[in-house]
Structure 1
Amino acid sequence: MELFEDRSVRPMLLTERHEPIESDEWLNELKLDGIRCVAYLRPGETDLRNKRNLRLLPSFPELAGLHEAVAGTCILDGELIIADTNGKPDFEALQARSMMTGTVRIRLKSAQTPANFVAFDILYRDGEDLTNRPLIDRKAILRETAFDRGRLAVSRTIAGNAKALFDQTTEQGLEGIVQKKKDSPYRMGKRSRDWVKVKNLVDEDFLACGYIAKGEQITSLVLGSMDAPLRYMGHVTLGVSRNVACRFPTTPSCPFDMLPSGNEGAVWYKNPPICIITYMERTSAGGMRQPRFNGFRED
Structure 2
Amino acid sequence: MDLFEKKNIEPMLISKMMQPFNDHEWIYELKLDGCRCIAYLESDKTELRNKRNIQLLNKFPELNSINTKIKKRCILDGELVILRHGIPDFYELQRRTLLTDPFKIEIAAGQLPATFVAYDCLQVGVDSILEKPLSYRKEQLQLLVKEESSRFAVSRYIHEKGVELYQVADKKELEGVVAKRWDSLYFPGKRSKDWIKFKRMEDEDFVVAGYINKAGNTYSIVLSKYQNGSLIYKGHVTSGVTKQAIQQLTQTGSSPFNIVPIGSGNDNAVWVVPDHICVVEYMPNIKNSLRQPVFKGYKTDVAPESIITQ
TM-score (norm 1): 0.72
Which amino acid in the other structure matches residue 180 of structure 1?
K
Alignment of 1:103-142 (within 5 A): 103-142=102-141
The Cα RMSD (Å) is 3.3
Distance change in 2, residues 1:55/1:142 (3 Å)? same
Q: Deviations over 1:126-168 (max 9, x none)?
A: 1111111000011011011023134100000101110111111
Structure 2 vs 1, CA of residues 220 and 145 (structure 1 numbering), >3 Å: closer, same or farther? same
- Over 3 Å counting, the alpha-carbon distance change for 1:195 and 1:99 in structure 2 is same
Local SS of the residue matching 1:94: helix
Question: What does 1:239-250 correspond to in 2, within 5 Å?
Answer: none
d(CA) in 2 for partners of 1:160, 1:102 = 46
Say if 1:178 and 1:6 are closer, same or farther in 2 by CA, change over 3 A. same
Mapped pair 1:101 → 2:104: no
Aligned to 1:218: 232
Query: What is the Cα deviation at residue 278 of structure 1?
Result: 3.5
Q: Indicate if the aligned counterparts of 2:238 and 2:294 stay in contact, CA closer than 8 A.
A: no
Aligned-pair CA distance for 1:277: 2.9
Aligned equivalents of 2:120 and 2:223: distance in 1? 43
CA distance in 2, matches of 1:133, 1:62: 32
Which whole-Å deviations, capped at 9, do the CAs of 1:6-57 have from their partners, x for residues lacking one? Answer: 2111110111223123201001000000000100001110000001111000
Aligned to 1:35: 35
What is the identity percentage for the equivalent residue pairs of Structure 1 and Structure 2? Answer: 38
CA contact (8 A) 1:202 1:279 kept: no
The CA distance in 2 between the partners of 1:67 and 1:192, in whole Å, is 29
| Structure 1: unaligned runs, 5 residues or longer | 204-208, 226-233, 235-245, 264-274, 285-299
CA–CA distance in structure 1, aligned partners of residues 90 and 238 of structure 2 = 25
The verdict on how the C-alpha distance between 1:201 and 1:47 changes in structure 2, with shifts beyond 3 A counting, is same
Q: 1:3 — aligned with what?
A: 3
CA distance in 2, matches of 1:76, 1:117: 10
Q: Which residue of 2 aligns with 1:162?
A: 162
SS of 1:148's equivalent in the other structure is coil
Q: What stretches of structure 2 of length at least 5 have no aligned partner? A: 204-219, 240-245, 247-260, 272-287, 298-310
Greater shift, 165-174 or 212-221, is seen at 212-221
**Cα distance in 2, alignment partners of residues 9 and 212 from structure 1:** 30
The structure that is strand-richer by fraction is 2
Question: Alignment length, in residue pairs?
Answer: 243
- 1:12-31 equivalences under 5 Å are 12-31=12-31
User: Normalising by structure 2, what TM-score?
Assistant: 0.70
Specify the code of the residue in structure 1 equivalent to 2:190: K
User: Which of the pair has more CA radius of gyration?
Assistant: 1
- Equivalent AA in structure 1 for residue 156 of structure 2: R
